[in-house]
Copies of this chain bind each other. A is one copy, B any other.
Amino acid sequence: MSVSLASMRAEHPGIFADGCPTRTVLDHVMGKWGILVLLTLSDGTQRWGALRRNIDGISEKMLASTLKTLEADGLVLRTAYPEVPPRVEYALTDLGHDLMTHVIPLMGWVADNANDIVGPRE
């Protein structure tokens, strides 16, 4: 495991350069909604409607496109049941869970420190 940008650069030359895959991952995962979707799914499999309700402020359009991107990235698994009415469930893949292993502590830090950062100003 790398412990600094310099050591990461030593292992992966050109890392984080323009056009590097890491940039794409960053854009997908770190975007406005990506993290919130993944975070919500880290609580367990959920249906479309549940996601929509649990992620405050997200529109159907953004939920759909975010889920599609994350599914294509192999972080989210979509399972549609051929029933009437339709039922579709979303869950994290193993890769997604692995990612959240690192993201959850970060979110914990953000939750603990958000008021110190934003609070004094706004």
Cα distance A102–B4 in the bound complex, in angstroms? 11
Closest to A29 in B: B110
A 1-37 to B, binary, CB cutoff 8 A, 1 in contact else 0: 1111110100110011110111011110111100110
Copy total for this chain: 2
Interface centre among A56, A99, A114 (most CB of B within 10 A): A114
Which one of A17, A104, A111, A121 has the highest number of Cβ atoms from chain B below 10 Å of its Cβ?
Answer: A111
Q: Which of A57-81 contact B (CB under 8 A)?
A: 57, 72-75
Task: Give chain A's interface residues, CB within 8 Å of chain B.
Answer: 1-6, 8, 11-12, 15-18, 20-22, 24-27, 29-32, 35-36, 39-40, 42-43, 56-57, 72-75, 95, 98-99, 102-111, 113-122
